[in-house]
Chain A
Amino acid sequence: MASGLGPLLAIAGKDLLVERRTKTAFFSSLVFALLVLTILYFARDKTAVGDLDLAPGALWVTFTFAGMLGLNRAFALEMGNRAIDGVRLTPAGATEIFLGKVLGSLIFVGTVELTAVPVFVLFYDVPIWRQLPLLLLVIGLATVGFVSVGTLFSAMVVRTRFSEVMLPVLLLPFLFPPIVAAVQLTRGILANRPLSEVSGWLSLLAAFVIVFSTFSLFLFEAILEE
């Protein structure tokens, strides 16, 4: 089995190429993200819930939902014409396939997220420039966490009948730790709290990402067996 960067990048590249040609999933996710941000903005009593109170939760709920749309397409692409068999025939090992899929999804979801952030700043009037690097780190970590687990689960549900419903049912419990941590971190960052206050959440997020990316990578082999 050939290993290394080549097959990995090939898999990521192929997914992104398909996406670039059709663009449906990307624009759907983006529009979806904007709509969620908008609805959440209006779905509260503005005198009781301030913008800065609502903003972190709104941002992460948006990312979660948009991310799941993006994840579904990762293996849905392969279902047509049993393309997954084609991927298996290549010299890529399970590790390369997994990492390639994750990379493809990360780029996809990451692009949606980074496009949504300026809109978020606009709608909620949050001051992000001071703490932008830290915020980007948090967004990056949480996204890696949920894309890794999401890629594993997408592979499992793609052959079931109601995969669009099954993915959230299986995945959402696993998003609880990273999303809660990300929301608390975002809140602390936007409110300019000292890092020591939120470092606990950062360790939790990092621990989650390390543990679950590793487990997802190893367990993926079992999913791909024939």
Chain B
Amino acid sequence: MTRRESALRAARRGAVVTGLALLGLAGIYLRALMFTPVERFQGPAQKIFYVHAPMAWAALLAFLVTGVLSLLYLIMRDRKLDLIASSSAEVGVAFSLVMLTTGPLWGKPVWGTWWSWDARLTSTLFIFLLFVGYLVLRGALHDPEVRARFSAVMGVMALVLVPFIHVTVYWFRTLHPEPVLMKPERPGLPGVMLVTLLSSVAVCTVLYIGFLLLRYALTVLQELKEEEIVDGVS
């Protein structure tokens, strides 16, 4: 099977998986909005959690994939690893954007402030910034081998950084507790809500895989096109 054929196959699979995931997401919307009870103290805005948290999880998953594959690339130098890593980064940006927009929309009604600077939220903000830096670096390097190598270095460094970000914010918050204007009651999630949340996590994971397949196919096809052009010229 040629590279082009395998890329097209990935694209077809990606389309199917993404399609299913989008249907799943519609199902989650239905379930969350219509069939999951409203939380008494936080109100309807609490339901944002069913979207915000799973999307943040998907962004984290994308980040881990980029980081780990970057490390593997530096060890094994298989170009495919670099192509998947960079595809994962772009997909991760999309999920991070959802997280960064829904976060404040959830925070304001439920916690009383748009942005709470807690460890999880701040870490995911940094994941977004690191993704953007990674993609900007790639955009500025034109030699494919150099680009793969340098962005892999960036990916590994970013992976090592995130735990430090988390600890830094955690310690800062522990030593300087912010006054919380509203403290919503936090009983453990009852069964119905838990099912909604977990289903949403599953759907977002599948969505990540679908997007990754599509983006990866696109990356390979773009590269093949570039090679064609270069071959045509030389």
Contact = CB atoms under 8 A, between A and B. Distances in A.
A223 interface: yes
A67 B157 CA distance: 20
Interface string A212-226: 100110010011010
B160 interface: yes
A173 B154 contact: no
A215 B140 contact: no
B222 interface: no
B167 interface: yes
B137 A166 contact: yes
Interface stretch (B27-35, B126-134, B182-190, B198-206): B126-134
B149 interface: yes
A170 B160 contact: no
Given A204-B171, A212-B160, A169 B140 contact: no
B160 A160 contact: no
A76 to B, nearest CB: 16
Contacts of B132: 169
B69 to A, nearest CB: 15
A171 to B, nearest CB: 9
Given A176-B126, A176-B168, A212-B160, A170 B149 contact: no
Interface of A is mostly: helix
A156 B168 contact: no
Interface residues of B, number: 28
B94 interface: no
A41 interface: no
A166 B136 contact: yes
Interface in A41-78: none
Majority-rule SS of B interface residues: helix
Contacts of B53: none
Given A157-B137, A166-B136, A173 B171 contact: no
A170 B137 contact: yes
B5 to A, nearest CB: 32
Interface residues of A, number: 31
A12 interface: no
A196 to B, nearest CB: 13
A201 interface: yes
Contact of A170 (B146, B154, B171): B154
Given A215-B156, A219-B153, A173 B133 contact: yes
B150 interface: yes
B224 interface: no
Given A156-B154, A169-B133, A177-B164, 15 more contacts: A152-B157, A156-B137, A157-B140, A160-B137, A173-B133, A173-B158, A174-B161, A176-B164, A177-B167, A180-B172, A181-B168, A200-B175, A207-B164, A223-B149, A223-B150
19 contacts: A152-B157, A156-B153, A159-B146, A160-B140, A169-B133, A170-B133, A170-B136, A173-B129, A173-B158, A174-B161, A176-B168, A181-B168, A184-B175, A200-B171, A201-B171, A204-B168, A207-B164, A219-B153, A222-B149
